[in-house]
Amino acid sequence: MSAAPGTPRDALHQEQIIQAAIALLDEGGIESLSMRRLGSRLGITAAALYWHVRSRHDLLLLAADTVWGQPPLPVLDDIEWRPTLRGMVDDLRSMLLRHPWLLAAMTIQPLDGPARDRHEEHLRAVCETAGLSRRDAEQAAGSLVTFAIGAALAATPGPCESFGLQSILDGIEASTR
């Protein structure tokens, strides 16, 4: 394996590769992610990357999961569900705006991973604290994720977002009565 001069193979870690891939994706979108470009950015050959990731597809999955892990997840003890959900949706929307390639990638292939699963499970748990059944909480969480994706695609903050999110939250509250 070729590495930068004086750099032992073990000096490069998967996390460094993922962070460099995210930077490349943030700069140029999905089209910009190639093993050759990434290797060049890291000062190694494209072939050397395969010691750490199996394929470009796996690298995209790892990058997506890393990004899904960025929004903070609130502690579930003694929370007020409405402001918590509002904050989680806003954090998700902000993350999607910081990494617009993720929106495009999600239309091409499923990008499920442990961080996304953890995020959606957390949303579901917060919806359950509002008094929803597990099934209804799963549907509400899905609606909130879909809303955040739509709001990120629109990329225009304003009263429409507040009204839309408020309507979803009002629907959750009405379902618990």
DSSP output for the chain: ---STT--GGGS-HHHHHHHHHHHHHHH-GGG--HHHHHHHHTS-HHHHTTT-S-HHHHHHHHHHHHHT-S-----TT--HHHHHHHHHHHHHHHHHH-HHHHHHHHHS----HHHHHHHHHHHHHHHHTT--HHHHHHHHHHHHHHHHHHHHH---SHHHHHHHHHHHHHHHHHT-
Over its length of 177 residues, how does the chain's per-residue pLDDT go in tens digits? Answer: 334 444 445 568 889 999 999 999 999 999 999 999 999 999 999 999 988 999 999 999 999 999 999 999 999 888 999 999 999 999 999 999 999 999 988 888 778 889 999 999 999 999 999 999 999 999 999 999 999 988 888 876 655 567 888 888 889 989 887
The pTM assigned to this predicted structure is 0.84
